[in-house]
Structure 1
Amino acid sequence: MSLNERECSKKDTLPARTIMIQGTASDVGKSLITAALCRVFTNDGWRTAPFKSQNMSLNSYVTWEGKEIGRAQGMQADACGILATTDMNPILLKPTGEMSSQVVVHGEPLRDYDASEYRENYLPAAGGIVREALQRLRETHDIVVLEGAGSPAEINLKDRDIVNMRMAEWADAPVILAADIDRGGVFASIVGTLELLEPEERDRIGGFIINKFRGDVSLLQPGLDWLEARTGKPVIGVLPFMPGLELEDEDSLSLSKQHAYEQIDAANEMRELDIAVIRLPRISNFTDMDPLRFEKDVRLRYIEHAEQWGYPDAVILPGSKNTIEDMIWLKETGLAACVQKHAAGGGAVVGICGGYEMLGTRLYDPLHVESMVNETDGLGLFPFEVRFAAKKRTVRVAGTGQLNKRSSPARIEGYEIHMGEVIWHHDKTSIHVHRPFQVKEQRLGTDLNATSSLTPEGASSQDGKQWGTFIHGILHNDNFRRLWLNRLREAKGLSSLPADLRFHERREAAFDRLAEHASRYLNMPLIYGMLGQSKEGKP
């Protein structure tokens, strides 16, 4: 059947089949398992899309329409080889404090809610929003892979659930329950979760995936046999732990474990460039630093205390969901003084988004957009102030980057997500600032070769050692990243290295590696059976 014939016949067929990945807890690997199935189904010829009705994360993604969704769903859309839309994550919660979050609906900020107000006043209406989004996906795809959140056994949350078992019911989706054996107690977590579900919810679960296994699976077999006998449900597969998988994590919960593994690597200690990232309490879009993990000359480490400072070749201040309060924390920990001393001595400092805002002289939030604190001093590296506005800027951009006027420009692209507006001081200090990026908004069909509409963005010192930008993903640009790293190498008397890390290509290879891993260790015929289809029945 041709593509046109398939599109015409689709109008007369049922909506897409659905399957859902839920977990016994947070951080058990739901997002990556979902991505793996997305890639497997796509490779098998099915038009596949991801879906998560409600996501809570500070690691976000900007669609081509300039809308904000959870980064995990953007990554999963990439695994499917399709453009991400807000229908894949219609509700995004971005924590602003211990008990409050900014609620983003179909990519646009609605307002901040505290937990109880959101639960009582907004969740009843949210069900309709997520059902409509899922329905649109089902009308244009063959399979939709749903991802749950946390655990379906959170008894105190079940009466307002829109993301686990109630979502599975709305989608008429069979559920695969994933559990993390690496944290221990895997059999208790699976059986305990089942015990806390209603009978009709237990009936919806078609089997289990045990994730992050290390060791000889034959030693686990008696436990697997007991679990299947105890529950009457199959173990769909035991997924071995995959080290060094070059795909983004859902949120900063994974940072500690990820970098604990890297610190064990002796080769990591011997790398020539030491780059320290300040792990802000409200760090956002930490995946900006991911490519540095795979540069062969970079030792990447995260620091939270002045005692961890050491002798970095460069320091990165990442994004923040609450820039003012993270700036205050920076001063209280002594890290602000470390950054200022480092910069004054000619050290390299980079600020991205919230980190860029901190590089100015002062931060103002009179509308309490991000914080209840009205204002605070910045680090004073650049002559500008930042004021937080009510409207968020979410856009993809593309253009060129040139850290100083003598260096050659490199093509760049990325995305902006911020509510801060930079206001420059027009005095003699501003003549010492270089605007390193020339960019324009990037939409589908944008002519990236046209330069007439480029506008300046960001700031850098005349020598390019200190710089900042609102552009997330700036270090995902291979040639630009290597130009910057080679400047750090030159400062240490080291020879330059070629830009031989192609991060996008490695990421695509990681999707294929993940799909191959899933196909090898999961019972895919059983999963296709849960969908009511066979692999051979592909279009």
Structure 2
Amino acid sequence: MKRRNAKTLMFLGTGSDVGKSVLAAAFCRILRQDGFRVAPFKAQNMALNSFITPEGGEMGRAQVVQAEAAGIEPHVDMNPILLKPTSQVGSQVIVLGKAAGNFTAKDYYRVKRTLVPVVREAFERLSARYDVIVLEGAGSAVELNLKEHDLVNMAMAEMADAPCILVGDIDRGGIFASLLGSLMLLEASERDRLIGFMVNKLRGDPALFESGVAILEARSGKPVLGVVPYFDHIAIAEEDSVALTRRMKRKPEGSEGAAVRIGVLRLPYVSNYTDFDCFEQEPAVDLVYFDRPAEVFTMDAVILPGSKNTLEDLAHLHRNGVADALVAFHKAGGVVVGVCGGFQMLGTSVRDPHGVESRIEEVRGLGLLPMVTEMFPEKITTQVKVRAEPGNPIGAGGRMLLGYEIHMGRSRSLGDGARPLFRLIERNREPVPEDEELEGLATPDGRAWGTYLHGIFDNDAFRREFIGRILSRSGRRRSDAEGGPLSYATWKEEQFDRLAEHVRRHCDVERIYRLAGIR
């Protein structure tokens, strides 16, 4: 590949969840602060959390977060290939924002080489528009059995002529073996591309690891460019399922005094759980991820999130007793909400006669909404603007709201008193005809409702009204000590600035710029 106008910097890892995505986001913000036009890039991402761009293309959330840190709109060129697992052995493959079909790993390896030009062209388009491209690898950079199929780690580094930083997670232990062992397994030309190491998630005083830095540098001949302490005072959206597992095990700080408890069901194929990150910043809310039937009755409201395999997840809920518990919870006065796949589960049945997501043809729904859903091969991926219908059972009447759709299913109301929630105003920034179908559905009392719109709770006024209605049903009141209403967009910007400050303090940014040829 010939040299482009854009400079490059790539973060590789010794394994999954070592912090590549967060450090890439940090450098997107740092470079932006230093006056560069910067964009993120990851050739291939595997994640169930995705986003829809203004053009209607689907891409991984990590690069969306990095684009937000860079202060630019997300574009599918930043993540040309997205794999969304639909089973233990297969994934839906998204190429430049559009679904290309479901593939087993074996089948995907056969077609992967044909996607190399797609990746190259996406990268070239970005590099022509920006000063610096911050690239991210995937998993471990030295999975030797997968190397011949590599498109995202050293193969991408070579394609982009990118200087690389190898990131290791000291919190999980074995930092010397992971960093030095990874270096040893690289080819000589690949080692030459490595400009240094970054030690991530150190607990305690970084000065206490000075001898560790000396050992790494002496043994490798490579500099340690940063020792970044573990942090819990900054919140950056994560897409890895490992991150969601951590959330289930911890209790959010300050949640003991929260006025209302909202539970999000942890489904086997859960997707877009970042829809609910906003609740974690609301002082009135204790947000809990759970998966056991008995936990349902400890909640004030339960949300069924999106799913990449709705029928399999719904069948799982029937098997483990959560489905019966949710129905009983609703009968006892509880509030049950569904988003996308979770919305589909609230109906009377979900069918997949074309085998789009599952080998199961039909699964009985929870029966909380008079609605049936059928899966179709054509995927809907749109950004939308909606207006809340006046008099709908969940409030927000007349308010304009933003969200996005990612679904294979089409749901049809059976009437029986259920009310639509929203009227579509725009799709992908284009006006929607007046006779366009209404969106969402709710029972007359508003205690069961659902929508296909991801990101609906990011709308501040809507989220606050939702919390207020749950508080009202429970007889509790919002505390006067909570401060003013949360602006989620402003809060996210503050997190990116905090992240940049934290990483600057513990990395030699100017040395990284110099070694990478950025300035």
Common topology (TM > 0.5): yes
Whether the 8 Å contact between 1:399 and 1:454 is mirrored in structure 2 is no
Once residues 72 and 326 of structure 1 are traced to their aligned partners in structure 2, the CA distance between those partners, rounded to angstroms, is: 24
Post-superposition offset of 1:219? 1.7
CA distance in 1, matches of 2:26, 2:437: 39
Whether 1:434 aligns to 2:422 is: no
Q: 1:268 aligns with which of 255, 260, 271?
A: 255
In 2, Cα distance between equivalents of 1:94 and 1:438: 29
1:400 CA displacement: 2.6
CA distance in 2, matches of 1:441, 1:477: 16
CA distance in 1, matches of 2:411, 2:177: 52
- Bigger mean CA deviation after superposition, 229-238 or 498-507: 498-507
Amino acid at match of 2:507: L
TM-aligned CA distance change 1:259 to 1:327, over 3 Å:
closer
The SS at the match of 1:515 is helix
Is residue 363–residue 376 contact of structure 1 (8 Å, CA) maintained in 2?
yes
Aligned residue among 16, 35, 38 for 1:26: 16
1:133 corresponding residue in structure 2: 122
**Which string of whole-angstrom CA distances, capped at 9 and with x for unpartnered residues, describes residues 201-251 of structure 1?**
111111111111110112211111111100010110011112143321022
- Aligned pairs (5 A) from 1:375-414: 375-401=362-388, 404-405=392-393, 407-409=395-397, 410-414=399-403
SS of the aligned residue for 1:526 comes to helix
Counterpart mapping for 1:100-115 below 5 A: 100-115=90-105
In the alignment, the residues of structure 2 paired with residue 453 and residue 511 of structure 1 have an alpha-carbon distance, to the nearest angstrom, of 41
| 2:201 is equivalent to residue 212 of structure 1 | yes
**Which of 80, 83, 91 is the equivalent residue of 1:93?**
83
Residue 503 of structure 2 aligns with an amino acid whose one-letter code is A
2:36 matched to 1:46? Answer: yes
Q: Does 1:163 align with 2:131?
A: no
CA distance in 2, matches of 1:405, 1:358: 20
Q: 2:50 aligns with which of 50, 53, 60?
A: 60
Mapping 1:412-427, distance limit 5 Å: 412-425=401-414
SS at match of 2:438: strand
Give ranges in structure 1 of 5+ residues lacking alignment: 1-12, 535-539
- Checking the alignment, whether the CA contact within 8 Å between 2:403 and 2:455 is kept in structure 1 is yes
Determine which of 468, 472, 481 is the counterpart of 2:463.
481
Cα distance in 1 for partners of 2:424, 2:490 equals: 24
> Contact 1:48/1:143 (CA < 8 Å) preserved in 2?
yes
The residue number in structure 2 matching 1:515 is 500
Structure 2 CA distance for partners of 1:29 and 1:461, relative to 1, 3 Å:
same
Distance in 1 of aligned mates of 2:150 and 2:223: 26
- Measured in 1, the distance between the counterparts of 2:489 and 2:472 equals 26
Q: Aligned pair 1:142/2:131, yes or no? A: yes
Q: Does 1:252 align with 2:241?
A: yes
Q: Is the Cα–Cα contact under 8 Å of residues 51 and 64 in structure 2 kept in the other structure?
A: yes
- 1:384-408 CA-to-partner distances (Å, cap 9, x unmatched) read 1100001000001112336835844
Work out whether residues 25 and 150 of structure 1, in 8 Å CA contact, stay in contact via their aligned partners in 2. yes
Aligned match of 2:451 in 465, 469, 472?
A: 469
Paired residue total:
512
How far, CA to CA, are the matches of 1:495 and 1:454 in structure 2? 39
Equivalent position to 1:491, from 473, 480, 489: 473
Deviations 1:12-69 (A, max 9, x none): x952011100100001111111111111111111111100000000000101000001
Task: Please list the CA deviations of residues 88-126 of structure 1 after superposition, one character each: whole Å capped at 9, or x if unmatched.
Answer: 01000000100100111000100111011111x111112
Q: Deviations over 1:337-388 (max 9, x none)?
A: 0111111222100000000000000111011000011111000111111000
- CA–CA separation in structure 1 for the residues paired with 2:193 and 2:247: 33
SS of residue paired to 1:102: strand
Matched residues, percent identical? 45
Q: How does 1:196-345 map to 2 (within 5 A)?
A: 196-263=185-252, 265=253, 267-345=254-332
Given residue 63 of structure 2, which amino acid in structure 1 is its aligned partner? Q
Aligned residue for 1:434, secondary structure, equals: coil
Secondary structure of the residue aligned to 1:309 is helix
The CA deviation string for residues 467-492 of structure 1, in whole angstroms up to 9 with x for no partner, is 10000011111100110110111112
Instruction: Summarize the alignment of residues 165-204 of structure 1 with structure 2, pairs less than 5 Å apart.
Output: 165-204=154-193
1:17 to 7, 17, 26: 7
**Structure 1 runs (4+) greater than 6 angstroms displaced:** none
In 1: Cα distance, 2:433 partner to 2:80 partner: 35
1:309 shift after superposition = 2.8
Give structure 2 stretches of 5+ with no counterpart: none
Letter in 2 for 1:391: E
Shift of 1:304: 1.2
State yes or no: 1:526 paired with 2:504: no
**CA deviation after TM superposition for structure 1 residue 451, in Å:** 9.7
- Taking the aligned partners of 1:431 and 1:136, their CA distance within structure 2 comes to 52
Q: CA RMSD in A?
A: 1.8
1: CA distance, partners of 2:283 / 2:309: 33
TM-score, length basis structure 2: 0.95
Q: Is the 8 A contact 2:369 2:448 kept in 1?
A: no
**Structure 1 stretch displaced more, 523-532 or 65-74:** 523-532
How far residue 258 of structure 1 moved from its aligned partner, in angstroms, is: 3.3
CA–CA separation in structure 2 for the residues paired with 1:187 and 1:332: 45
Amino acid at match of 1:258: R
CA distance, structure 1, for counterparts of residue 335 and residue 388 of structure 2: 17
Q: How has the CA–CA distance of structure 1 residues 362 and 259 changed in structure 2, closer, same or farther, with 3 Å as cutoff?
A: closer
1:431 CA drift (Å):
4.0
